[in-house]
Amino acid sequence: MAPDPLVRVTGLRKTFGTRRVLDGVALDVRAGEAVALLGPNGAGKTTLLKILATLVRPTRGAAAIGGQDCARRPEDVRRLIGLVAHGAHVYEDLTALENLRFWAALWGLRLPASDLAAALADVELERHAGERVRTFSEGMRRRLSLARFVFARPRVLLLDEPFAGLDQRARKWLEEYLQAFKAGGGAIVMATHSFGRELAIADRLAILVAGRIALDTPRAALTSDDVQRLYALHTENGS
């Protein structure tokens, strides 16, 4: 029997005022699996990620991570997730090492300096440990944001446009990082507008259109052209 999915979304609906942003979304993501959420602006990708991250409560339906309901047990869910969204959750006037030290302490972890240095080395920022984040590129900020998860060890990564603003080297690094995260038994839900090679980390594609999942399909057999064709087909029909 297959193990229970790490992420389970059933009949999820979210309305803001009279606007229905999500409407009956269902999605399962298993350990070691990555799902890419594709869809036009306003399709509900970010809202779905925010519900999974316990930042927004659903109007109807349920979202659960590791068997814990996101709306009813947000504290338990927060111990299982790592969110990388548009803001990198880093303080501009602190150094990379100070940022890590702060987040570790806030999570109640007492880590020696060697562990923090190792976390920075894991994201290839060890040479910049003493530099202020204000001087960092977008890619370095993204890596610093991910460094927090080296010691927090989330089981699910929620990523909103993780490749946006990254150069080729940073993209390659992130792809490898996410592949390693999956290989370690983690699950990934990633919202993206990209049809490029970044989709290679996804095992499944889910196309969201007007708050509904219009297509949920394995990615392995699909070429980039296939993805673009399917995307055009579903978004043009749905919008």
Please identify, using beta-carbon distances, which residue of 36 and 90 lies nearer to other proteins. Answer: 90
Q: Does 102 bind other proteins (CB under 8 A)?
A: yes
Q: Crossing angle for the helix pair 138-152 and 113-122, nearest 10 degrees?
A: 130
SS3 state at 102: helix
Please identify, using beta-carbon distances, which residue of 50 and 204 lies nearer to other proteins. Answer: 50
SS3 state at 158: strand
Please identify, using beta-carbon distances, which residue of 109 and 232 lies nearer to other proteins. Answer: 109
Q: Does 235 bind other proteins (CB under 8 A)?
A: no
Among residue numbers 45 through 64, which ones bind other proteins (CB under 8 A)? 53-55
The burial class, CB within 10 Å (0-12 / 13-18 / 19+), for 3 is exposed
- The interface mask with other proteins, positions 115-134, x = CB under 8 A, is -----------------x--
The CA distance from 82 to 76, in Å, is 13
Q: Which of 107, 150, 105 is nearest to 125 (CA)?
A: 150
Question: Which window, 5-13, 22-30, 106-114, 217-225, contacts other proteins (CB under 8 A)?
Answer: 106-114
The CA distance from 86 to 136, in Å, is 15
Residue at 15: amino acid letter: T
Tell the smallest beta-carbon distance from residue 56 to other proteins (Å): 10
Please identify, using beta-carbon distances, which residue of 181 and 231 lies nearer to other proteins. Answer: 181
Q: In what order do the strands lie in the sheet with 7-16?
A: 19-29, 7-16, 60-65, 68-69
Q: Any idea which residue has 């005022």 for tokens?
A: 17
* Residue 239 structure tokens: 């919008």
Q: Which of 22, 21, 28, 27 is nearest to 6 (CA)?
A: 28
Q: Does 108 bind other proteins (CB under 8 A)?
A: yes
Among residue numbers 72 through 101, which ones bind other proteins (CB under 8 A)? 75, 78-79, 81, 83, 85-94, 98, 101
- The interface mask with other proteins, positions 140-169, x = CB under 8 A, is -x----------------------------
Please identify, using beta-carbon distances, which residue of 92 and 236 lies nearer to other proteins. Answer: 92
Question: Which residues make up the interface to other proteins (CB under 8 A)?
Answer: 53-55, 75, 78-79, 81, 83, 85-94, 98, 101-103, 105-108, 110, 132, 141
